[in-house]
Copies of this chain bind each other. A is one copy, B any other.
Amino acid sequence: MKNTKKMIDINEISKLAKLIRYYILISTTNAGSGHPTSSLSAVELMTVLLFGGFFRYKVADPSFCNNDRLIFSKGHAAPLLYSLWTAAGAIKTEELLTLRKFKSRLEGHPTYRFPYAEAATGSLGQGLSIGLGMALNARCIDILPYNTFVLLGDSEMSEGSQWEAIQLASHYKLGNLIGIIDVNGLGQRGETLYGKNTSEYEKRISAFGWKTLTIDGHNISEIADAYKEAFKATEEPVMIIAATLKGKGFSIFEDKNGWHGKTLSKEQAEIAVKELGEIDKDIRGKIAEPEIIEPAVQKIDFEEIKVEDNNISTRKSYGIALVNIFSKFSSMVVLDAEVSNSTFSDIFKEKIPSRFFEMFIAEQNMVGVALGLSLRNKIPFISTFAAFLTRAFDQIRMSRYSNANIKFAGSHAGVSIGEDGVSQMGLEDIAMFRTMPDSVVLYPCDSISTMKLVEKAARHFGNVYIRTTRMDTSLVYSSDEDFVIGGSKVLKESKKDIASVITAGITVHEALRAYEELKKEGIFIKVIDLYCIKPLDKKTINIAAAQTKFILTVEDHYAEGGLGEAVISALEAPCKFKILAVRKIPLSGKPSELLNYEEISKDSIIREVKKIKSDLKIES
């Protein structure tokens, strides 16, 4: 269902564009910082879109499922975004003047706090991937006729992530995705890579299978025609490449270099505003109403997987769990970066193919797509090797500021992957995911706990990271064990414990082996499976610290930002401790050789515990 409106009122659009220019100017001048020039170049492009009858949106209900979606990938054009919604009557002029003030919803770059910002942006080159996720949702999941528009800066087209999105959008034939590049030719510090040469964008983007439309981005009729033309596409994503002038409308900075992120003083603004001529400050633009329609309800038949033997790897358990929890979470979507036979998300792909989408080897775009899906109320589970999730750290970080609900699974954690060597080992993933506000970081040690925690991850709203192990592991838990986010399990304890070994994942097995050997020598340790590294079970940790007076942490991860630092920084009373972690650059070798080499194996734990015992003797 494409919009069929034929004519737009050029006079009205011009008046609105003038008002929006005025808003951009006064709001940034009032704030004393911001990006007026980058906002001004896209005024006509956005005014025609929103108020020319092309964009369909229930202003009273930003979350409405069939609203068109508009993402400002060039997030620094936030003053334009806020001005548009002021001109739409959605926010008041007084609020517009809170731009960039402490606790205002109108932040320097859009975040989830502004309801008309479809996604948080400001780190460039991310909006197209997010839009792709929303367009994919419309086409393949919700089966809704809404369109997704992404306003792009020309400078940000040099981000590789853009080309990941461009290549995938044509692969999935997303004719409902429309990008608009505001080619003002000036980046932050001078001319962009291709300057005003719109043909350079045209050539490259059309080579990737997109329909391209090159226009004058300040000509209202041309813009309207471009949207009409764009709506004719069904299987080709469309890129409108618009030649514009940075700072358009005000001679002080129009098309001039050196004005990026600079605002006018009150005096300069007063003079500049006069160039606009008469401004109708009471005019409000009308946004077309979307079709009232509900998402398709898909009946997906599938067979749950019966697991005969649970002595399997946690990565495989992850794949099985995806299938087995699907009946409870019908909004699940699974994405993978071309390693589904390693992460075992291919188990889901095989059983529920309509909810599996191949993202190919392009992790940044995968996270962006997941964010787009998440913002359209899906629960995306995305997977690749833990090491390769580092590729998308910027997208991961930014997703939080869109209030994302993404489940990240990183397989092949740590040196225990063995022979493939260090490039394939996730050794920074715990640190990376811990930095994210309110994130959940899970690291199960066996099949049962993995399956239960995958379900808990789906139930929890927010970003969750699940760390899985390559090799098969034996069962630690029985099938009736319960796991909670923020929990841990005391696996071994006695009144004679001289230390608490706190660990997770693969090294739980090392700790349990150490326990058995030490026990034979009459040495007792508490063993805690910290399957949830964030939020941390501070209570259990502090009780253990009080009881045993020594905390020994063990992890198959670099020491920095890992489980050990998380545990030690949560101690509420002084306590002795030691952190066993990966501290040498790992090599290729057998898993057992590498665990030993890095001193995180059973033998290292035994050695440390014996040191603790001998120190105790000396002290007593």
Query: Footprint of B on A, CB under 8 Å?
Result: 31-34, 75, 100-104, 107-109, 111, 113, 120-125, 155-156, 158-164, 167, 171, 187-189, 192-193, 203-204, 206-208, 260, 338-342, 346, 360-365, 387-388, 390-391, 393-394, 397-398, 400-401, 418-424, 427-428, 431-432, 434-435, 437, 534, 558-561, 564-566, 568-569, 573-576, 579, 583-585, 587-590, 593-594, 597
Contacts and interface: CB of A to CB of B under 8 A. Distances in A.
Contacts of A594: 102
A404 to B, nearest CB: 12
Chain B CB count within 10 A is highest, among A204, A346, A418, for A204
Contact of A561 (B113, B161, B193, B431): B431
Given A171-B193, A188-B339, A432-B432, A401 B419 contact: no
Given A123-B387, A397-B390, A435 B108 contact: no
A113 to B, nearest CB: 8
Contacts of A585: 400-401, 437
A138 to B, nearest CB: 22
6 contacts: A104-B588, A158-B361, A159-B391, A160-B364, A401-B423, A565-B566
A123 B388 contact: yes
Q: When A and B form their complex, which 7 residue pairs have the shortest distance between CB atoms, in order from nearest?
A: A160-B160, A561-B561, A122-B423, A574-B574, A102-B589, A207-B207, A108-B421
Chain B CB count within 10 A is highest, among A156, A206, A574, A576, for A574
Contact of A160 (B164, B193, B340): B164
B420 A33 contact: yes
A107 B362 contact: no
Contacts of A560: 431, 434-435, 534, 561, 566
B338 A188 contact: yes
A160 to B, nearest CB: 2
Contacts of A584: 437
Nearest to A205: B207
Contacts of A107: 421-422, 587-588
A362 B569 contact: no
A120 B593 CA distance: 22
B102 A587 contact: yes
Nearest to A568: B569
B159 A361 contact: yes
Contacts of A155: 338, 360-361
Contacts of A561: 431, 434-435, 560-561, 565
Contacts of A360: 155, 158, 187, 192-193
Contacts of A434: 431, 560-561
A155 to B, nearest CB: 5
A301 to B, nearest CB: 24
A584 B437 CA distance: 7
Nearest to A576: B574
